[in-house]
Amino acid sequence: MYLLIHGAKVLSNFIASLSFARMKSFSVLPQVFVACFWPVFVLLLSVPSSTAYSQRSAVLDAYIAEGLANSLSVLKNELDIERSRTLLAQARASARPSVEFNASYIVAAGGRSLDFPVGDLLNPVYSTLNFLTQTSLFPQIENTKVRFIPNNFQETRFNFAYPIYNTDLKYLKTIRESEVAGRISLRDAREVSLKGEISQAYIQYLQTRELRKIWLKSKDVLLELKRFNQSLVRNNVATSDVVSTAEYELAKVENELFHASTLENSARSYFNYLIGADLQRQVTADSSLLTAPVQAYSLDELLLNSTERRAELKALKSFNTAAMADVKRNEANQKLPDVYIGGSAGFQGFGYDFANDQAYVLTQIGLSYPIYNGGLNRSKSQESRLNARMADAELRQVSEQIKLDIIASFNAFDAARFALQSAQKNVEAAEAIFRIANNKYRAGQALLLEFLDAKNRVDAARQQEIITRADLLVREAALRKSAGLQ
């Protein structure tokens, strides 16, 4: 799961760093998908995490809901989804018209200038005209000095731009949409994995709790045995060694009880850790989950449409869609030009007069098409097609691996179910043997060693039954996870 999160982080940072000016190098994106995600998914498919059990428990469901709400990893997945949706909104906005307002005012002094002798050139002509017309219609003017840096100059304008057709922007939207779908599938996969971890931890807690109960029952049997042996010694029917033997067995059981309590506390703390609760908080035990019958499964039904239910595979398909979009983008870049339109409208001149002589409108239509770049676009197109073929091959390989995982999980579940049936028969036989040995020992027809041997058989058989029941639930959960069942 760490590799999955790290790969998602690398991919997200890579995509977020892209700008439209650098879209020509965008064909490397499918390589990032292949390098970061597909090997991770192959690894995830081999991890035996589990999902919900067929026999649901309201107590377990409440704990799972609490764990999902408190999980930082799920929260991170949710934030990744929101970030991907934000990037998708940015991609959509980039394909729409944009309008911005700009205003500038310049105050300058000094700098280079150009002397223009307009007075020397026109004043003789104006004087002649005034003499001929006997008027003063043509005044005398001064020579002009024009500065390169304008003083008291303002420009106030609205700029607009619209990409009429841009292949990079068009396919970027598809890539962002695929990324959002992939992030959602990754979130679902993490939730399924966390549900399995919580469920397995809860089953392990129930298992340690039931094992402790078995040792408590064994202690009660030995206490009764000690009292019975003490009565035999008082009546001179047996020697004191039978009491010492009972005390020895009691000491062994006390040690096992302490060990079982330690395991129970550790299992409770680990379970609380997974759901984000206080480690020492008490856990409500629903022991009926261990005794409830498991659901029957058909291998053919599990294999049918199993690949459509796996969240990991849905994420792979989303990223494969992004790779195919990059193929289309590179092909379109070789065939179609980018077309855009832009312009400005506003006022420009000395001082803020906003007169008609300061108003202006500018419109620009642009077209960009790569004629020759040394075969770079053709090479990028070939690269993206190879990446897409690799993605498709990886997708088919993972689909086959899922089917293999289902078959292996089904066989393991079937073996666990058979093991439970054998364990139940062993318990029945061991209890029958113990009842006979107990009656015979109390009637003085059996040795203490026979009694203890029968008791130990019962304890071992009951413990094995609990362990086998828990293992069956874990195997069932792994089977449901492999088949994509919720």
Closest CA relative to residue 92, chosen from 184, 27, 174: 174
pLDDT at 324: 84
122/218 same-domain check: no
| Pair 117, 227 in one domain | no
Structural domain boundaries enclosing 127: 109-149
137 and 285 in a single domain? The answer is no
Residues 142 and 181 in one domain: no
**Residues 6+ positions from 323 with CB-CB distance below 8 Å:** 29, 30, 33, 34, 384, 387, 388, 391
Q: Look at residues 85, 118, 149 and tell me which one is the last residue of a structural domain.
A: 149
Please identify which residue in the block is written with the tokens 């009292």. 227
Give a yes or no: residue 206 inside a domain: yes
Same domain, 302 and 449: yes
Q: What is the pLDDT of residue 16?
A: 39
Structurally, how many domains does the chain consist of?
2
pLDDT of residue 354: 80
Residues 43, 62: Cα–Cα separation, whole Å:
30
The reply to whether 469 and 394 lie within a common domain is yes
139 with 34, same domain? no
Residue 272 belongs to some domain of the structure = yes
How many other C-beta atoms lie within 10 A of the C-beta of residue 485?
16
On whether residue 130 sits in a domain, the answer given is yes
Side-chain-side CA neighbours of 454 within 13 Å: the count stands at: 21
* Residue 422 domain-assigned (yes or no): yes
Whether residues 413 and 453 share a domain: the answer is yes
DSSP 296: P
Q: What is the pLDDT of residue 314?
A: 84
Residue 358 lies in a domain: no
**Is 171 inside a domain boundary?**
yes
Placement of tokens 């062993």 in the chain: 426
Q: Which amino acid is present at 45?
A: L
Task: Report the pLDDT value the prediction gives residue 486, as an integer from 0 to 100.
Answer: 63
Q: How far apart are the C-alpha atoms of 271 and 194, rounded to whole Å?
A: 12
140 and 9 both lie in a single domain = no
Task: Tell me whether residue 354 is in a domain.
Answer: no
Examine residue 161 and state whether it is found in any structural domain, yes or no: no
Residue 388 token pair: 């897409």
The values of phi and psi at residue 261, to 5°, are -65, -40
If asked whether residues 281 and 418 sit together in one domain, one would say: yes
Domain of residue 385, CATH code: 1.20.1600.10
Under DSSP, is residue 419 helix (H, G, I), strand (E, B) or coil?
Answer: helix
Per-residue pLDDT of the chain (486 residues; tens, 9 = 90+): 333 434 444 344 433 333 333 333 333 344 434 344 433 343 344 333 333 444 568 899 999 999 999 988 899 999 999 999 999 999 888 889 999 999 998 888 877 778 778 888 888 888 888 888 888 888 888 888 777 788 888 899 999 999 988 888 888 888 889 989 989 988 988 888 888 889 889 999 999 999 999 999 999 999 999 999 999 999 988 899 999 999 999 999 999 999 999 999 999 999 999 999 999 999 999 988 888 888 888 888 888 877 777 888 888 888 888 888 888 888 888 788 889 899 999 999 888 888 788 898 999 998 888 887 777 777 878 888 888 888 788 888 888 888 899 999 999 999 999 999 999 999 999 999 999 999 999 998 989 999 999 999 999 999 999 999 999 998 988 888 888 776
Give long-range contacts, CB 8 A cutoff, 24+ apart: 58-62. 58/286, 59/284, 59/285, 59/286, 60/198, 60/199, 60/202, 60/286, 60/289
User: What is the pLDDT, as a whole number, of residue 22?
Assistant: 35
Pairing, β 153-165 against β 98-106: antiparallel
Q: Are residues 116 and 194 in the same domain?
A: no
Q: Do residues 94 and 136 both lie within one domain?
A: no
